[in-house]
Amino acid sequence: MSAKKGDLNLLLPGADGWEIWTGSETSGFTQHSATGQLLALDVTGYPSGPVQMALPVRKLSALPFKAQTTDLSLLGDLAAMHLEKCGARPALDGGQLTDHFVFGTSGEESLLTAVVLSPPQEGQLPRRSPAAFDLSVRCLPLPVGDVAVWKELGRWVFAIGRPGQALYFQCLSGERLDDRSGNDVRLALTQLQIQGLLTKFPSRVVIWTHGSVSDARPEEVESFARGVGLEVQEIPKPIPSWPSPPSKLLPADVRAERLHQKNKRNQNILIAAAFVAYLGLVGFLFYNLREVQKEARVAELNVAALGSEAQELLLHEEKWDEIQPVVQSDFYPYELLLRAYRALPNTPDQRFIRLTSATFINQFKEVDQAMVVERKIILEGQAEDNTNIPKFSGSLRSQEDLSDFTWNIQPEVKDKKSGMWTFLYEGDATQ
């Protein structure tokens, strides 16, 4: 099958080896070839066009959790904190090995799944560097409310979610379906329900078949059904697609290759630009040399004529710069406190949040042997619950009269003694 212009090559983990699918998001994908290769490095015969790789479930870990906010700008930090708490955050030198996907929102809560990719070992990446990476489970239309079970690279895996969104996925132990693997699936579902991440327990398990000898035999399906304790149905595996937008996952080897190519391209551009700029600069200086000399002589005469008046003006400007923190009324402490107070989500009748401390810094500071005006706001406060605290942080960021400040919003913490929720926000507008 010949690839059409603009088609993509999707490298997808199949039942017994890697598969190549060609197509596009609009026209759909068709299978180009199925290999028996378990290592992506050994796969050859790609059609023309970019390669996009679907990472297998066995190399991924899913850690779903609930976040007490719907502010998308905070979810990345909360996902990183969740991975840190679970001891699953990878080393920084492995590339971009983590990502998170929002599964849904309810009120002031967000349900999201943090994903961790194990660093690819030798032979687990294709020869042709992929243009993008994503999860194989996001490339398959998961049945809504049911559990999907299928085989990837000789191992059975399962997932629950909906098309384009996976709440949880896991690689099962062993290469066959049996009552133990069914128990593993039921245990994972029960844990999700206990944690409040699964509102309705599934009533059915769908086993995707591949039309090959790798499909589960009837006795395996029967044993698996006994272990999972749910209705089991076999249907053909659906056609994959490519998620939009793709994940941010990027292993270190591919990232290093992209940086090398980018640096090489930028270096060539800089050399060409420098040569053109050099020729232009030589011509410009040669043409304007006499005019510049003339203007310099006139300027010297004017400065000499000003004499003491110029010295007094320079002294005045120097003194004015010294009192800059005092004369700029936009950064008076009481002005900043008033603006921060206006950002509180309190009402005339109800006081949801109380500021316990407000610190304002507006003074000169030496940085790298140069004097800069350090301007900071440090706000501390408390509330009986954390419902309105995210509203306050969002209002601070959106306040037009506080737009000079960049805010460091730390997660709120519940005080064990008083039971109050406390927070600490720091705004920085240092010049």
> pLDDT: is 420 or 329 the higher one?
420
Confidence check: pLDDT of 326 > 70: no
Placement of tokens 């998170």 in the chain: 100
Q: How many Å apart are CA 388 and CA 386, to the nearest integer?
A: 6
272-299: average pLDDT: 70
| pLDDT for residue 399 | 87
Q: Which of 373, 374, 379 is nearest to 342 (CA)?
A: 379
Fill in the amino acid letter for 147.
V
| pLDDT for residue 423 | 92
Which of 44-58, 199-213, 240-254 bottoms out in mean pLDDT, i.e. has the lowest? 240-254
Per-residue pLDDT band for 26 (boundaries 50, 70, 90) equals confident
pLDDT tens, position by position, 83-129: 999 998 887 777 899 999 999 998 999 999 999 999 988 889 998 88
| pLDDT for residue 266 | 58
Fill in the amino acid letter for 361.
I
Which of 41-55, 65-79, 137-151, 355-369 bottoms out in mean pLDDT, i.e. has the lowest? 355-369
Per-residue pLDDT band for 312 (boundaries 50, 70, 90) equals low
Helix (H) or strand (E) holding 13: strand 8-13
- Our CA angle for 308, 309, 314, nearest 5°, is 95
Q: Which of 377, 378, 385, 379 is nearest to 415 (CA)?
A: 385
CATH code of the region 59-116+144-236: 3.30.420.40
22 close to 107: Cβ distance less than 8 angstroms: no
The phi-psi region of residue 390 (left if phi > 0; otherwise alpha if psi is between -120 and 50; otherwise beta) is: alpha
pLDDT tens, position by position, 350-406: 889 999 999 988 887 877 777 788 889 999 999 988 888 999 999 999 988 888 899
Q: Helix, strand or coil for residue 184?
A: helix
Q: Where are the alpha helices (DSSP H) in 33-178?
A: 72-86
Q: How many Å apart are CA 47 and CA 40, to the nearest integer?
A: 15
Confidence check: pLDDT of 276 > 90: no
Percent of the chain whose pLDDT exceeds 70: 84
Q: How many Å apart are CA 154 and CA 212, to the nearest integer?
A: 12
260-286: average pLDDT: 62
Mean pLDDT for all residues in the chain: 86
Percent of the chain whose pLDDT exceeds 90: 55
The answer as to CATH 3.40.190.10 being correct for domain 326-428 is no
pLDDT tens, position by position, 215-246: 999 999 999 999 999 999 999 999 999 998 88
Confidence check: pLDDT of 256 > 50: no
| pLDDT for residue 265 | 57
- CA distance from start to end of the chain: 61
109 close to 66: Cβ distance less than 8 angstroms: yes
Phi, psi values for residue 27, rounded to 5°: -90, -10
Greatest CA span in the chain, whole angstroms? 105
Per-residue pLDDT band for 325 (boundaries 50, 70, 90) equals low
Neighbours of 85 (CB within 10 A): 11
Task: Give the list of residues 6+ apart from residue 257 with CB closer than 8 angstroms, or none.
Answer: 129
